[in-house]
Structure 1
């Protein structure tokens, strides 16, 4: 969901690095940054890889090894603020959440050890067991081809609305046990988190988003309660079974399950949609790479890794410093907030030679940090990789003559962390479709 910004972030005070020009020009909410953040980070890594942004109130870390340090050192860098709204909630937004009786508690993404460690194993086993992933792969391929069937003879499509938006949602909802009749309702709610949590909406926008979040919470709570009464073979039912195992009574509660469901529906839907759209744009803008993939479908796995490196859907995460630390040669005091820019790390020249080149045969693309690193490595990374690989295989098989529509403007939701075009217009000659 896109939104124009109608107010600027409040300027906060705090320590600064000696060099300040990058801090003064860093604006992740408007063009040209939204169009091409990587141009900014190329300069930042060279001139000031760690700097303080007074407009955000965050220390910004852009180098590969420094970002890995932030993720690896959970004793110094707490995940507690990961999904706290970047902009403080206005009274009207708070009222909307109160009306919905929304009680967003902790979840894996913003928990630290030891409780994170205790819960992660159970949540991981329930979500991404080999059995569950293998079972859903044929459905992903059927969904991909069903979507292509709807537009293959048309000669044009929006690969976000007509393809990349729909399928990850259906897969995520199926894993959660969301019934088919609820899919449209759940999709409407789940795309509201990016701007609400990582953006800087106006008060009016924030109130509208909070209203949607409240309705999303109500739906997720109803679904969890339904599964408490009638468990099935799905993710939430599996967590409920774990919770009801003797000795695990303190592991979860109902609010935790509701929060987990909300976060997974967003993560499993929004991030894969954005990654797919980013990847298709990159492939079609680098025609030699698209043609190579069409000629050799076995390159799809490598193409997925290079897409995640080159233009990942999650380009930054947030952490809170709990004790004084030095990172990148810069002293950061306890109590500070950090924006760890994974998108920049994935373009670090010291790790990825010629990082601005898009090469689906790149040997070390898999070293990217698109899914994070360490204890908070994304639990859905296997599923996301599988979905993207199948999408590429089916689109290149059925529409190898696909091309980007010329003259289109790519629009990105203004926020610090999630990135993908709202639309991706393509066209082709239907008479040239393969049999």
Structure 2
């Protein structure tokens, strides 16, 4: 059986690929820092300084098409999706300057410090509402019942999705991730493609409605910019992508951090006793158990790196998760050290012009979640006899299930 110690390539269908890729990535950093993956069909950069340099050099490493990774789709499904198989072509993370600069400036209007603080207050209320429902039970699947709900609900409120539509949107978002970012059999691909088209249609109608009748939400704010700063498609794809992030990135980060803390129980006890340690713990958790594996880029010219020639027009994976374990930057990288002075130098939220515009909100949401968890569930622990399970994905380290329990109070 292939393991991270014996693997010779990435394999997103294997259990180790997301659960514990680090021995494999360590060998790549040491022996083949510029690695051609037959399985992914692209080059992979694994060293910290190479990844950071590529993020910074957007003229050589283009973001155009970076989120359109659909190599596993059947021809039938590609035909069904039509132009939408290139979904997110007009999202800020998927374009280069100057278009990226214009779009980022527009999107940033919704992420002022005051707006982020207000969203934090709403998130705190949603975390407490979820905990009110589960605390009396004494146990839960942390991923499904605690981590995902507050973040998904806040994303819906922020965008302007009515409460009655939240479950449908969450279902469609899950289908998007499964369709584009994890291998699926042909029959399942057909089902997911139909969900994806329903998702696009829903967001398109939401934008049209908000343009006609604005409200106090992000969809209305973006709809006001159509025809001046942004096109209709750019707004639809921006909203679609932000809903994806709210339903995935922060929940993954929370679940990964809790899983780590429950294995390193002394650290959980430390943050329960001293909540000022929570921000540092979050950065270290993002570094060591990054919710994102990295970003895709395409070379605009031939590049020679560590003696390896990478042709122009070639796709690469900038492996930020591997970079977070680079021992030349992070001393003793497999040790979970919540006081690590440079933990924040990880690149989970990207780097350079493509640093995530919602990073401050994501960090705040994680801080609030852990403040409430340590206050209300100080006895949180793994449920006996129930093992956590990772999902299989090309781009995200996330848990499908994380069974936990606590003492009822």
Q: After superposing the two structures, state which structure 1 stretch, 346-355 or 412-421, moved more.
A: 412-421
Does the CA-based 8 Å contact 1:194-1:418 persist in structure 2?
no
Match of 1:358 among 320, 329, 336: 336
Distance 2:169 2:377 in 1: 30
Match of 1:224 among 207, 211, 216: 207
**Aligned twin of 1:180:** 163
Distance 1:22 1:320 in 2: 29
**Aligned twin of 1:151:** 134
Distance 2:168 2:122 in 1: 21
**Aligned twin of 1:268:** 246
**Aligned twin of 1:72:** 56
Match of 2:302 among 324, 328, 353: 324
Distance 2:397 2:171 in 1: 18
Q: Does 1:210 align with 2:193?
A: yes
**Aligned twin of 1:7:** none
Tell me how far 1:268 sits from its aligned partner: 2.0
Extract unaligned runs of 5+ from structure 2: none
**Aligned twin of 1:333:** 311
Distance 2:344 2:130 in 1: 29
Report the 3-state secondary structure (helix = DSSP H, G, I; strand = E; otherwise coil) of the residue aligned with 2:389.
coil
Please list, as runs of the form range in 1=range in 2, the aligned pairs for 1:250-329 lying within 5 A after superposition: 251-329=229-307
Q: After superposing the two structures, state which structure 1 stretch, 413-422 or 24-33, moved more.
A: 24-33
Does the CA-based 8 Å contact 1:100-1:215 persist in structure 2?
no
Report the 3-state secondary structure (helix = DSSP H, G, I; strand = E; otherwise coil) of the residue aligned with 1:86.
coil
Distance 1:172 1:31 in 2: 30
Does the CA-based 8 Å contact 1:325-1:331 persist in structure 2?
yes
Distance 1:102 1:321, change over 3 A: closer
Does the CA-based 8 Å contact 2:55-2:351 persist in structure 1?
yes
Does the CA-based 8 Å contact 1:228-1:240 persist in structure 2?
yes
Tell me how far 1:337 sits from its aligned partner: 1.0
Distance 1:286 1:101 in 2: 42
Distance 1:130 1:233 in 2: 17
Cα displacement string for residues 222-265 of structure 1 (whole angstroms, at most 9, x for unaligned residues): 11111011111211211222335xxx2xx322122111111110
Distance 1:22 1:339 in 2: 21
Question: CA RMSD for the aligned pairs?
Answer: 2.0
Tell me how far 1:102 sits from its aligned partner: 9.5
Distance 1:301 1:314 in 2: 19
Distance 2:189 2:382 in 1: 34
Match of 1:405 among 362, 376, 383: 383
Large movers: runs of 4+ above 6 Å: 99-103
**Aligned twin of 2:94:** 110
Please list, as runs of the form range in 1=range in 2, the aligned pairs for 1:90-169 lying within 5 A after superposition: 90-98=74-82, 105-126=89-110, 128-169=111-152
Aligned residues: 405
Report the 3-state secondary structure (helix = DSSP H, G, I; strand = E; otherwise coil) of the residue aligned with 2:298.
strand
Distance 1:205 1:197, change over 3 A: same
Distance 2:11 2:169 in 1: 32
Please list, as runs of the form range in 1=range in 2, the aligned pairs for 1:375-414 lying within 5 A after superposition: 375-414=353-392
Extract unaligned runs of 5+ from structure 1: 1-20
TM-score if structure 2 supplies the norm length? 0.94
Q: Does 1:196 align with 2:184?
A: no
Distance 1:91 1:333, change over 3 A: closer
Cα displacement string for residues 261-285 of structure 1 (whole angstroms, at most 9, x for unaligned residues): 1111001221111111001101111
Report the 3-state secondary structure (helix = DSSP H, G, I; strand = E; otherwise coil) of the residue aligned with 2:378.
coil
Does the CA-based 8 Å contact 2:211-2:224 persist in structure 1?
no
Tell me how far 1:199 sits from its aligned partner: 2.1
**Aligned twin of 2:226:** 243
Report the 3-state secondary structure (helix = DSSP H, G, I; strand = E; otherwise coil) of the residue aligned with 1:153.
helix
Distance 1:346 1:37 in 2: 12
